[in-house]
Amino acid sequence: MNRLLLHPAVRPGVFLFSLAPFLWLTYAALTDPSGLLGANPAETLIRDTGELALRFLCATLAVTPLRYWTGWQALARFRRMLGLFAFFYATLHFLCFAWLDMGLDLEAILADIVKRPFILVGTAALLGMLPLAATSFNRAIKALGARRWQSLHRAVYAVAGLALLHFFWMRSGKNDFGDVAIYGTILAVLLGWRVWRRLTS
């Protein structure tokens, strides 16, 4: 499996697979939004981009445990890409909210962030991802040093917690907690494994 994961075609394949939801949402929005995106296209775009960000956060955090459980060390080469896609979809999520919900009215956006806690928490998660995305390149690792870079990127754990809280508060308005429980369980396993490893190493 390690040999397969190191094949030159796998990395572009993972990139295209990660980009595919964006291409589909763009196509749906430009061609037939009311048909492909449902009765409320704006809500669908905001919801789907947010959930994609959460999924890619989970995928990023899953790389290290999967390497440990399976021995597939080559999975590490995809972690940075998955993290950048998490930031990409989180940024799209915020832009969809700012444009489709708030009409790019900066004053109204800021007021809504302050007024509604779940938006404040989601914005905090996005801002927390910004330095991680900005330092996800080899030059940044060399500039910061490996230890400081690793310490900075442990902030992804807090970001994941904020993203889950944002998702929980958003779904609580509709009393819909099924997906929240799924993502909460996944993150609990991924983060709990890290705590267990630190305590037993």
Mind listing the pLDDT tens digit for each residue in 145-174?
Answer: 989 999 999 999 999 999 999 999 988 877
Look at residue 37 and tell me whether its pLDDT is greater than 80. Answer: yes
- Residue by residue, DSSP assigns 7-39 as STTHHHHHHHHHHHHHHHHHHHHHH-HHHHS-S
Question: CA-to-CA distance for 22 and 1, rounded, in angstroms?
Answer: 28
Among 60, 116, 113, 64, which residue's Cα sits nearest to residue 88?
A: 60
Mind listing the pLDDT tens digit for each residue in 65-123?
Answer: 999 999 999 999 999 999 999 999 999 999 999 999 999 999 999 999 999 999 999 99
DSSP one-letter code for 74: G
Predicted structure pTM score: 0.95
The residue assigned the tokens 């075609």 is 9
Look at residue 124 and tell me whether its pLDDT is greater than 90. Answer: yes
